[in-house]
Amino acid sequence: MNLTLAAELIGLDRIINSDPVAITFFIGYMAMFASSIFFLVERGSVDGKWKLSLLVSALITGIAAVHYYYMRDFYMQTGTSPTAFRYVDWTLTVPLMCVEFYLLTKPFGAKGSTLFKLILASLVMLITGYIGETSGIDSNIMWGIFSTLGYLYIVYEVFAGDVAKLAKGSNSPALGSAMFLLKIFITLGWSIYPLGYMVLPGNLLSGAFEVSSIDLFYNLADAINKIGFGLVIYSVAIAETAKARKVVA
């Protein structure tokens, strides 16, 4: 039998037999592709200073959609986790999500140094996480600690650092509500990633649940976090645009 045809039949069998991981790869791909189109179209509904924010939201979900297209095929053909694809996706999209924090607070005085620190922390989190996940059991706890430090710095910035101070001093109810939601995404939504890392063999939560099911949680978390993140940015852009146009009128 042709190898390509055999791979397609294996993938089709996964969907027919309701493999939840395969199904969530499909859902993640379609949901993020549709979200990317939505954010691009809605750029026309907001003031100029918010257009870049929606463009970045579209890039985040668009990049994720492309990666999910390939991760879906990889999983359906091999039945294994597309670790390399996933980290490439995160290495592109997570720094862009940090850019969103900067763009969100830029109208209220955010500086480029804040953006640099957020991107650096996100890269430390992801690069050390990838090294830990692929370097073997003996060193994954050590690299996991380095990765967690990068994550905790982002949490600090959102709760008590420059981002938090700018949001508090903005006198913008829309920004205040958005920051509240983004704090939930950062602490609860993003927590699935370090938890998934810690269930790897030899790590702190090894054996807590099947490693094979981690892709199910990653797929759902990615869709909720990236699309939800963009929708929060969109809500601020719409609210601030409406307020500015009301003042002008």
Tell me the per-residue pLDDT of 19-35, one tens digit each, with 9 for 90 and over. 888 889 999 999 999 99
**Cα separation, 219 vs 228, whole angstroms:** 14
pLDDT average, residue stretch 95-103 = 90
Beta carbons of 94 and 124 less than 8 angstroms apart: no
2-11, 47-56, 134-143, 204-213: least confident range: 2-11
* Res. 195 pLDDT band, cuts 50 70 90: confident
CB atoms within 10 A of CB 184: 13
Q: Which domain holds residue 152?
A: 3-248
Please tell me the predicted confidence (pLDDT) of residue 94. Answer: 93
Record the tokens describing residue 181, joined without a space: 């939601």
Please tell me the predicted confidence (pLDDT) of residue 43. Answer: 93
Q: What is the per-residue DSSP string for 142-210? A: HHHHHHHHHHHHHHHHHHTSHHHHHHHTT--HHHHHHHHHHHHIIIIITTHHHHHHHTSTTSTTTTSS-
Among 60, 63, 82, which Cα is nearest to 71's? 82
pLDDT above 80 for 203? no
Please tell me the predicted confidence (pLDDT) of residue 208. Answer: 66
Total number of domains in the chain = 1
pLDDT average, residue stretch 96-113 = 86
The secondary element (H helix, E strand) that includes residue 43 is none
Cα angle, residue 229 at apex, residues 223 and 231 outer, rounded to 5° = 100
Check residues 9 and 244 and name the one with the higher pLDDT: 244
Please tell me the predicted confidence (pLDDT) of residue 196. Answer: 78
Please tell me the predicted confidence (pLDDT) of residue 5. Answer: 47
Please tell me the predicted confidence (pLDDT) of residue 181. Answer: 87
Q: What is the mean pLDDT of the chain?
A: 85
- Number of helices (H) and strands (E), helices first, in the chain? 10, 0
Question: Is the CA virtual torsion 140, 142, 146, 151 positive or negative?
Answer: positive
CATH number at residue 163: 1.20.1070.10
**Cα separation, 159 vs 145, whole angstroms:** 21
- Its pTM stands at 0.86
Q: What is the pLDDT of residues 112-168, one digit of tens each?
A: 888 999 999 999 999 998 998 887 766 678 888 899 999 999 999 989 988 888 888
